[in-house]
A and B are shown apart, each in its own frame.
Chain A
Amino acid sequence: MAFPTGWAWNTPITIPAAKISGNNANFPVLLTAVNFPATMMNGGVNSALNGGGDVRFSEDAAGAVQLPCEIVSFVTGGTPSATVWAKRPTLNSGADRTIYVWYKKAGEVQPVVTDPLGRNAVWVDYQVVSHDGAIDSTGNTVPTQFGAPTTAPGPFGTTNGAVSLDGLTQFVRSGVSVPFVSPITLQAWSRPTSFNTNGPMLVSLNDGAVGDQHMLLRLGHGGSWPTNQVYAWGRFANALNSANAPLSPKILTLGSWLKTTMSWRASSGLDIFVDGANKATGTGPFSSANTANRFTWGRADDSTPGQYFTGDLAEIRLRLSTLLDSWITTEYNNQSSPATFALPGTPVAVGGGVTLSPNNAASSHTAGNVTLSQAQSLTVQGADHSQAASNVTLAQGSTLAVNNAAHAVVSNTGAIAQAQTLNPANATQTQAADNVALSQSQSLVAGNATHGLGSDSPAQAQQSTLTIANDLHSLTSDAATLAQIQALIIQNATHGLTGGNVTFNPVAVQPGADRTLTLQSESRTSLPTGGDRTTRPANNRTLRI
């Protein structure tokens, strides 16, 4: 089936007007993976064939005007890559221009290189075009490599897209037959990895040893010709009439790609362009009756071979015509930044079997958090706890249970309100407070242990009992006051009671049966208060003072 019948997809590729300078006829456009739609390169259901066998180009959407193309490399899948050339009959400024790429047709292969739409047809205007220093895509020559040079990635990212030279013995040569008559254009992309001081050659068109005529692009050899600058050189006629035109337009950087063009446009002018810009013109006159028989890259190839170049070379071209400034600018726009030079559009299904792929839809799902309040409890399990607070307050119906462990309770005001109990369990407790107050119907029970109770005023109110259980207790106070109907019961133990006044009001100090109230040998005063008071020992008791 003839093109475009059977092809499933085409995509417009637009070249913005701003990228085009002047009017350019038969312009080879460089296209890389970034210039093609993702679905064409991803190896999926709508992808082109890996290798690019089904890739074609046309100038129009219908496919009526097919364009010659060269597929240098084409890889589809997870890491796609491509280096492709398609030649437009014209590429003129003033408006956006479009190339249509066609793809997805099973079983297709590229036409043979000699086909009117094949590889050679892209470069029909050139004598030599070598992308990688190994193959001449014009079909006119067969390059010969000397010294076994290697390959390197090219200026467009193409794997093995450049020839890599060691600067010692390696170079490449194509045999040609080119009279030294203008116009002649030499082009090369170069990436030096060393600035040799021997004036290394990028490309040279020369007649070998016959008359030492040559045109060449080279780097400087030092001194007034710095090694990091590129020069165009033309040596024509015999030694008496030679005309050298060293031109010095550009500072090179080791490891960086540089595009150079040397164009002999007239019998009186040599122009050198570096990275698309016209940098210098050398004036002649230039003339020669000789014919170049070799196109060499990477060294001088005349009567004194040498001046080897160290680095990578790519896109080496020889053309027997003039390239206008506008062409050189447009060409540099294309080759230096393919991604911005041509922009892929939306693929269009033009045949059968195309697939539209819906995206999976996923809904998220959230639920709010619920907060628990009221009727909650805080339970402090048996362990060591420390609690410090200005006020320890127990509200109505609440219990603070301090389990068996050593607890330290520090408070300015230890208060027990109505119907509450503070019960330090059997353990060593320390309690320090300014005021230890027991109010109505409450009890402070210090269990069997050693307790230290320090207070300014231990006060017990009505119907209160201060019970000090069996053990060693110390009670220090400024005023130990027992109010109405109160009893101070001191159990069997040694107790130290120190105070200014121990007041019983109005009770009697009455030892129980077989008990003795002993007041020690200090001055004791027993002062009956007003009224008739009697200190009377009971039956068989002795009151000793």
Chain B
Amino acid sequence: MVKSVDNSVLDAALNDIKTKCNLMTACAGQPLTFAAANAGGVNYLAGVAMAGTDFTVGNGVTSGRKAAVASKAGITVTNTGTGDHIALLDTVGSVLLYVTTATALGLTAGSSLTLGTWNIEIADPV
């Protein structure tokens, strides 16, 4: 017996991020709220504007579907701290859309930062 879900069901969640996300931030520690991850928030270290073109929805690596988040370079670090989380924000609706972890790195205010590419994947049902 096999369970299945149509791609449109999974894509609906991924496209919600794609259409609403307009800011990606590097954070020190896990941000629990939109305010904490947003510029000026307690976890905020650096941020870069995002658009729908920065997300590519397609087949998942393991199964299901994924949204590939594009790399962003030339970001100026605002606050000094250890970056270990990445957040996707909808500043229009004040929603903390998604948070993932990152390999911890010390960031110095004023230095230049690149955020590498990464994926959001929703697997097929099991």
Binding site for B on A (CB under 8 A): 39, 45-46, 346-367
Contacts and interface: CB of A to CB of B under 8 A. Distances in A.
25 contacts: A46-B105, A347-B106, A349-B105, A350-B111, A351-B111, A353-B114, A355-B114, A355-B115, A356-B86, A356-B113, A356-B115, A356-B116, A358-B101, A358-B115, A358-B116, A359-B101, A360-B120, A360-B121, A361-B100, A361-B118, A361-B121, A362-B121, A363-B122, A364-B126, A366-B126
Contacts of A349: 77, 105-108, 111, 113
Interface in B94-126: 98, 100-108, 111-116, 118-126
B26 interface: yes
A356 B114 contact: yes
Contacts of A364: 123, 126
B83 interface: yes
A362 B120 CA distance: 6
A352 B119 CA distance: 25
Contact of B122 (A39, A351, A355, A365): A365
A354 B120 contact: no
B62 interface: yes
A364 B61 CA distance: 13
Given A355-B114, A356-B26, A362 B102 contact: no
Given A361-B100, A367-B126, 16 more contacts: A39-B105, A349-B105, A349-B107, A349-B108, A349-B113, A354-B111, A356-B86, A357-B103, A359-B103, A360-B120, A360-B121, A364-B123, A365-B5, A365-B10, A365-B126, A367-B125
Nearest to A363: B122
A352 B108 CA distance: 10
Nearest to A362: B121
B64 A365 contact: yes
A364 B5 CA distance: 13
B111 A352 contact: yes
Listed from nearest, the 9 A-B pairs whose CB atoms lie closest are: A348-B106, A358-B118, A358-B86, A352-B112, A355-B114, A357-B116, A362-B121, A361-B100, A367-B125
A62 to B, nearest CB: 12
Contacts of B114: 353-356
B123 A362 contact: yes
A361 B115 CA distance: 15
A363 B5 CA distance: 14
B82 to A, nearest CB: 6
Contacts of B112: 352-354
A346 B124 contact: no
A352 B104 CA distance: 17
A500 to B, nearest CB: 63
A363 B115 CA distance: 22
A184 B124 CA distance: 73
B33 to A, nearest CB: 19
B82 A359 contact: no
Interface residues of B, number: 38
A45 B83 CA distance: 16
A346 B101 CA distance: 16
A39 to B, nearest CB: 7
Contacts of A356: 26, 83, 86, 102-103, 105, 107, 113-116
Contacts of A358: 69, 86, 100-102, 115-116, 118
Contacts of B123: 362-365
Contacts of A352: 111-112
A361 B98 contact: yes
Contacts of B118: 357-361
Nearest to B26: A356
Given A348-B106, A367-B3, A354 B113 contact: yes
Interface in B7-61: 10, 26, 60-61
A363 B102 contact: no
Given A352-B111, A353-B112, A361-B120, A346 B106 contact: yes
Given A349-B108, A349-B113, A350-B108, A359 B102 contact: yes
B70 to A, nearest CB: 11
A347 B104 CA distance: 8
A419 B10 CA distance: 57
A370 to B, nearest CB: 10
Contacts of B101: 358-359
A361 B116 CA distance: 13
B10 to A, nearest CB: 8
B30 to A, nearest CB: 13
A354 B72 CA distance: 12
Contact of A366 (B26, B115, B125): B125
A358 B26 CA distance: 9
Contacts of B115: 355-356, 358
A350 B10 CA distance: 41
A253 to B, nearest CB: 41
Contacts of B121: 360-363
Contacts of A354: 105, 107, 111-114
B36 to A, nearest CB: 17
Contacts of A363: 120-123
B102 A346 contact: no
A121 B13 CA distance: 61
Interface string B69-86: 100000001000011001
Interface centre among A347, A353, A361 (most CB of B within 10 A): A361
Nearest to B108: A349
A346 B125 CA distance: 39
A361 B13 CA distance: 14
A317 B116 CA distance: 48
A347 B105 contact: yes
A477 to B, nearest CB: 55
Given A346-B82, A364-B123, A359 B100 contact: yes
